[in-house]
Amino acid sequence: MSATSTLAMTHLVPLAAKDLDENKVTPGLLGFVVFALIGVAVWLLMKSMNKHMNKVDFEEEPQPGEARATASPKGAPSPKAKGERTA
């Protein structure tokens, strides 16, 4: 910057500062609209996530050493797998 532009800027800064009251600065309508849109977006994402989580059908597989609670008693016939033939 040249010396004249620096001198001009130093004279203009105090003029702009007098118009700006730091106690009355607010985000305004734009800030409220942006905040409201973010809130609505979060609500919609939570609603969608809840819907997708309810669709999950999760059954935990037992550990290798544990017996199943639904195992058939000894001597009872076990259900045949699909496509399995009996001899």
0.85 exceeded by pTM: no
The predicted pLDDT at position 63 comes to 82
Give the Cα-Cα-Cα angle 57, 64, 86 (nearest 5 degrees).
Answer: 80
Q: Which of 8-17, 27-36, 47-56 is predicted with the least confidence, judged by mean pLDDT?
A: 8-17
Query: Contact, 86 vs 80, CB < 8 A?
Result: yes
Q: Mean pLDDT in the chain?
A: 76
Query: Contact, 38 vs 32, CB < 8 A?
Result: no
Express as a percent the part of the chain with pLDDT over 70. 57
DSSP state of 12: H
- What pLDDT, in 10s, does the model give residues 38-60? 999 999 999 999 999 999 988 88
